[in-house]
Amino acid sequence: MLVIGITGTLGAGKGTIVQYLVDQKKFTHFSVRGYLLKEIRIRGIAENRDNMVSVANELRKKHGSSFIVEQLYLEAKQSGENTIIESIRNTGEIEGLKKLGTFILLAVDASPEIRFKRIVERQSETDKILFDEFIANEKREMQSSDPNAQNISACMNKADFHLSNDGTLDELHLQIDQVIQQLNI
């Protein structure tokens, strides 16, 4: 079983990459975001980015920095299938997954303007924001000295493969296929 994690800037195309791996390469998908939304619903609090960050940081502080992805990994292991875990945002998550088995990390990025346009178009509940708020959210999540907080920049620096999503969907798919070919999947 191969586990691929995906990290990247807000709106860079993590979900698009996940969908391609699920549809074309038959990967099973697990999402940190989905895990956090379930927890938020259990707690009866508003489904927004601030609460997602807060709940994630709280769970990491209470149970360890890799707690969330370890829970997803346990589910993935039961399936026995190649798996993609979406939204790796903490270096402890990377370290935890590497200890559990074969793990590859992908990072994706695109220009801020393109990414903002994408989040506006997808109309997720957590993405109904203005450009300035989008940039502020990203800045807050890019770096932190707190080992339990989001640190997307450090995660991206630890990635095994880097994808650029400023172009077309076909160009992104070609990059994914090249990674898959290198991994001999």
Residue 164's CB is within 10 A of a number of other CB atoms, namely 15
| Helix ranges (DSSP H) in the chain | 14-25, 32-43, 49-63, 67-79, 91-100, 112-122, 131-142, 152-157, 169-182
User: What's the pLDDT at 159?
Assistant: 98
CATH number of the domain that residue 140 is part of? 3.40.50.300
Q: How many angstroms separate the CA atoms of 62 and 141, rounded?
A: 19
User: What's the pLDDT at 59?
Assistant: 95
Q: Are 2 and 102 in contact (CB under 8 A)?
A: yes
User: What's the pLDDT at 125?
Assistant: 59
What's the whole-model pTM score? 0.87
User: What's the pLDDT at 64?
Assistant: 92
The number of distinct structural domains making up the chain is 1
User: What's the pLDDT at 54?
Assistant: 92
Residue by residue, pLDDT tens for the chain (185 residues) are 889 999 999 899 999 999 999 999 999 999 998 999 999 999 999 998 889 989 998 999 999 999 999 999 999 989 889 999 998 998 999 999 999 888 999 999 999 999 999 888 877 656 678 899 888 888 888 888 888 788 999 999 999 999 999 999 999 999 999 999 999 87
Q: Which two tokens stand for residue 77?
A: 């292991």
Give the domain extent around 175.
Answer: 3-182
